[in-house]
């Protein structure tokens, strides 16, 4: 690698040097009927950073992501994308504005092929050249998918499905990528692969909000983190600090 390349790359990636706020949640409340799943959740994701959102089962992580991408409506508070309020918009509008959501449980289109699933990710795009480029990028990120382009998504292994889910989200050339438990149910080696890809996407300038049960891995990957406890943000800060915080270590790292 020539020094010049290293220099430009260093400029582009610089995960620690956070850019302008990409996504902001301000005092979000979300109710399911009479059950309040989120109360006063505020969080910020800056351009070019990976932010981890950790918490135990039922803490409201998935609800937070669904609220951002418009699948749930907040009863109070606002969501802003680059300063523009989006919490009143429909899911498809939000998706078109550049929020890509790889949902919990992957939710692929099971009877479409891998290629068709990826194409659906680019559904809202009209720049054909860009789409073709994104295809190539996805296949470089996940070489395994290239061999399986015409296999039906429903017949893929869990790990491959997760790759398609991330690839599909990535195909929309998003401003921000929302990943809901990408490591769920995967063997350790596959988890490593997936997280490498997440870092790779970030190194190319991608902004990512990551939900994880695997708090250690998430915090090691992210630059900042939030800890959600029964609908409240209990802790937040640089990932390093959270990793060393005794509360987090006890509750989420099993130390």
Partner 1 sequence: MNRLLRAFFRPTQKITATGVYTILVIAAAAMVLLGWFLPWFVGPFSEGVGFSPQDAISTAPTGIGTILLYVTGVCMLIVLLSPFVEFTLRARHRALDVRWDMVRAAASVVGLVLTVVVWILVRWINEEPLFGALPNGITTDSAVWLEMYGFGLAAITYGLKRLVLERPNVMFVVGVLPFGVLLPLMFHQAPAFVLWATQSLAIYMLLGLGLNVVVGFAGLLDLGYAAFFAIGGYACASLASPIHGVHISLWMLIFIGAAIAATFGAILGAPTLRLRGDYLAIVTLGFGEIIPDLATNNVFGLTGGPNGISGIDKPVVGSVNFGFNPQWFYWSLLFFSVVVVIMLLNMQRARIGRAWVALREDEVAAAATGINTTTTKLLAFAIGASVSGLAGAFYGAIVSIVSPDDFQFAVSIAVLSIIVLGGIGNISGVILGAFVLTFVIFWALPNLQEWSATLGHTFNVPAISGIDFTRYTFILYGAALIIMMLFRPAGLLPSRARKVELESGIESESLAAVQGRA
Ligand X SMILES: Nc1ncnc2c1ncn2[C@@H]1O[C@H](COP(=O)(O)OP(=O)(O)OP(=O)(O)O)[C@@H](O)[C@H]1O
Quick one: what does residue 60 bind among partner 1, Mg ion, ligand X, none, with the CB cut-off 5 to 8 Å set by partner type?
Answer: ligand X
Instruction: Write down the least CB distance from residue 222 to ligand X, Å.
Output: 17
Inter-residue contact 206 to 175 (CB < 8 Å): no
* Closest CB 30 distance from Mg ion, rounded Å: 13
Phi then psi dihedrals of residue 178, to 5 deg? -105, 120
**DSSP per-residue string spanning 184-198:** TT--HHHHHHHHHHH
Beta strands per DSSP E along the chain: 21-32, 35-46, 50-55, 76-81, 84-85, 99-102, 176-180, 207-212, 224-229, 232-238
Instruction: Judge contact between 100 and 109, C-beta under 8 A.
Output: no
Burial 182-197 (b: 16+ CB within 10 A, else e): bbbebeeebbebbbeb
How near is the Cβ of 38 to partner 1 at its closest, in Å? 19
Q: Smaller CB distance to ligand X: residue 31 or 249?
A: 31
The span from the first CA to the last CA of the chain, in angstroms, equals: 40
Decide whether 113 or 245 has the Cβ nearer to partner 1. Answer: 113
Window 130-169: contact mask with ligand X (x via CB under 6 A): ----------------------------------------
From candidates 58, 85, 154, 188, binder to partner 1 by CB under 8 A: 154
Structure tokens at 48: 């070019």
Q: Does 62 bind Mg ion (CB under 5 A)?
A: yes
**According to CB under 8 A, which residues from 121 to 140 bind partner 1?**
121, 123-124, 128
Instruction: Tell me if 29 contacts partner 1 by CB under 8 A.
Output: no
Which positions lie near ligand X, rule CB under 6 A? 32, 35, 37, 55, 57-63, 104, 213
Binding site for partner 1 (CB under 8 A): 69-71, 90-92, 95-96, 100-101, 103, 107-113, 115-116, 119-121, 123-124, 128, 149-150, 152, 154-155, 168, 172
């Amino acid at each position: 690698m020539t020094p010049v390349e290293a220099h430009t790359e260093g400029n582009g990636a610089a995960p620690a040097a956070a850019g302008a706020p990409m996504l902001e949640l301000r005092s979000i409340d979300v109710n399911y009927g009479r059950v309040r799943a989120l109360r006063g959740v505020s969080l910020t994701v800056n351009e070019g950073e990976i932010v981890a959102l950790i918490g135990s089962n039922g803490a409201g992580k998935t609800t937070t992501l669904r609220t951002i991408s418009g699948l749930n409506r907040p009863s109070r508070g606002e969501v802003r994308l680059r300063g523009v309020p989006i919490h009143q918009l429909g899911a498809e509008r939000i998706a078109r504005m550049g929020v890509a959501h790889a949902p919990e449980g992957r939710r692929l289109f099971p009877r479409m092929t891998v290629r068709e699933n990826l194409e659906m990710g680019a559904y809202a795009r009209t720049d054909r050249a860009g789409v073709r480029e994104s295809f190539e990028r996805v296949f470089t990120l996940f070489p395994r998918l290239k061999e399986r382009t015409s296999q039906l998504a429903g017949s893929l292994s869990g790990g491959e499905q997760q790759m398609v889910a991330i690839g599909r989200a990535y195909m929309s050339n998003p401003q921000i990528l929302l990943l809901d438990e990408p490591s769920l149910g995967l063997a350790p080696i596959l988890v490593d692969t997936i997280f490498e890809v997440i870092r790779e996407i970030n190194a190319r300038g991608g902004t990512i909000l990551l939900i994880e049960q695997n708090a250690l891995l998430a915090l090691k990957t992210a630059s900042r983190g939030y800890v959600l406890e029964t609908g409240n943000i209990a802790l937040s800060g640089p990932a390093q600090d959270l990793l060393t915080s005794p509360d987090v270590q006890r509750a989420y790292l099993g130390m």
